[in-house]
Structure 1
Amino acid sequence: AFAGCTNYPNGEEELALMAKELLERKYIVVAAGCASMSIGMWKDEDGKTLYDKYPGEFKAGGLINLGPCLSNCHVSGAAIKIANIFAKLPLEGNFAQVADYILNRVGAVGVAWGAMSQKAVAIATGFNRWGIPLIVGPHAIKYRRLYLSDGEDFQVYDRKGKKVMEIDPTPEHLITAAENFKECLCTIAKLCMRPNDISKGRSMKVYHYVTLYEKYFNCMPPDLEKFIRTEKDIPFMLKDKIVEYLKEKGWKPRKEIPQEPTLLY
């Protein structure tokens, strides 16, 4: 989800290029406020905007213009509905339970690339309260507040196994800053990972994380070993190079993965 103001480090084109890259990879992309207008200002060689090229539907490869800045609430609303539909969680008097579900299961990420107003930081904080991580542009470090982890293993309670266990650090941060749009794209792919990912879903996320890093930085992600829990998480198309990388890092598969992770225990 792209939101926030137009205080971009290098103009609105980078925002459109990020959206274009994600759409080509079949991500669901939504935008609101100034970000949605910035995306619409960019045109390709044929004079078409991304709104012309991609369907305005909430499905893989879809691009949705949510409307004005305050329509950001529809992003968190969609995540809340997932908890309501799939987990049958009631939508009254259980904020923490819904946020816990989103944090551990729903791979949503917000991007406020040009944030500069107090309203923008309030939107970011609102996303965080619902368990949705957010990436801000380099100027936004002037807010002087980032929610960063140390990159080490997290602890969750597995309801099914009825015990506390250590897991991979996903999502690694709640608010983090990216120096440029290339770093932002790679961070988006990384922050989409969740503790409850099944192996097929995690392998797809790893695929995008690795290929984005190779495309823009010409190397493997330096922290990839943290996010591969077992060999089943390795995408088939990249298996040889990732296995070689993991051997160099001394990687070992995790003995157990939580089936129903939660922070509420």
Structure 2
Amino acid sequence: MKKLSLFMLIILLMLLMPFSLLQTQPAHAESTQFINAEENTFLRDAPSPSAKKLTLLEKFSKVTVLSKEGQWSYIKHNGNKGYILSKTLTKQEPKKYEPKKAPVITNGLLPKANRSYTYEPSLEGGAKTTYKAAVNPDIRNSVSLMEEEFIGYTYIENENSFELGVAYSDVFFFSLSYPMKEKSTIYDTDYGIESDTKTEVTVESTSTTLKTKAGTFKNVVVIKYPNGSKLYLAKDYGIIRVTNFEGEITTELVSVK
């Protein structure tokens, strides 16, 4: 009788042992993590890159990780459950990238005086030409680029406009209104002719980075005219490039000394 009772006790212990081990085995703790992929990622119904896509998870989304299976994590997000690659998760909340706001240009486009600016093609669209920059004593806030005595151009800048004209004349190539805000429309008071006609032009960008032989320029102002031609202006340099309606370069700054 005692042997039978002992046998029954052993059988009972064997039956209870797996359940007891299961109960004492630590369960995977849920954790809050964040999507840290380069792009938005899909939640899938199985741990496989070819599994059905359930929903799209945006970068930086907060998710609840329920368990892990190899390289995959089983997660919950907004009532949806599924799998994503574990490498796309991070425990630390990532800092969202906020693009810098394009600057609003209100001054500073005058070229620096006492330097030589070489253009190829020249400002006339011809052969390579060097212009010497000097402050024009007769006009407030102006710098002249002279090819030789009495031959050249004059930039003028004030709180309302940025202008370029033929030196010692009343002829202006452009007179662009300030402020210049990216994706906005401004006026060119003298569009290629000597007149007071206002032409609407587009400030295509105030944050372009442009590389020429003269160097790399940041926060370049790109002005687009109705015919498709473009004017590229840089702080402390003035014109650094001009393109025609076909995108061909008709003037470009290639050297500054």
TM range (shorter): under 0.3
Bigger CA radius of gyration? 2
What is the TM-score of this pair, normalised by structure 2? 0.23
Structure possessing the higher relative contact order (Cα contacts under 8 Å, 6 or more residues apart): 1
What is the TM-score of this pair, normalised by structure 1? 0.23
**Greater strand content:** 2
